[in-house]
Structure 1
């Protein structure tokens, strides 16, 4: 048997410059989930949830915003919101609010009736915003909204 000689080499690197805490910069102007990284190669951007990197600064997308007009409100019975019934009930409410708004004797609520607003979807919230002073008129978590309705003229 021959004797084998092994050489052990140990390399010690200092990674402080490459991955120091200053390398990971939080920038409030970046979209959520993005970090600005500075290293020897330069500045790049890291999307933490997906692990992707890019040289170009990611653009911040504005929150979706829609011009809407309030028709008012109607109370609904819980059983009308059951699966299979809710779309009919919501359509009936929309028709009731659309056609009865001029009847002074109706019992339909008229909060904000005819008022122009912005519907803003931001941070998992639905916000109704006054277009004049940008004050929030109503705010509700999107996850808590059970029924959505969009009016249509044919009444189906």
Structure 2
């Protein structure tokens, strides 16, 4: 079963025809870009919900947009949870072994994802941020922080 393609025009009733036209006009200059979004899961949580619609909408206006996730063992994600909490003010003390686990998984994800051909890489979680050091950048990398960093 093929689901209905989400299109920008589906939102016209909410935002108006003028807003839709403005978005299409702005998207014209980006239509040859290849954009990839990276986060830590395809499901659960606000980032996954946002990316499931946003990727489809960007494609609907002609911006080639993909979505990748990082993979890792439970140890990796328990370490990244500590990092997440540290960004929100918790104390953190990672052993050399935990840092080694984290860096190894980041490297494995960098090898697996082949991001060199993208014009724009958008990182949506702190977990994959260090992947940037494993690539020759062909365009900007952006961190879209969805975490409240006030502490």
**Normalised by the shorter chain, which TM-score bucket?**
under 0.3
TM-score scaled by length of structure 2: 0.25
Q: Return the structure number with greater helix share.
A: 2
Which structure has more relative contact order (CA 8 Å, sep 6+)? It is 2
TM-score by length of 1: 0.25
Bigger strand fraction: 1
Query: Which structure has the larger Rg?
Result: 1
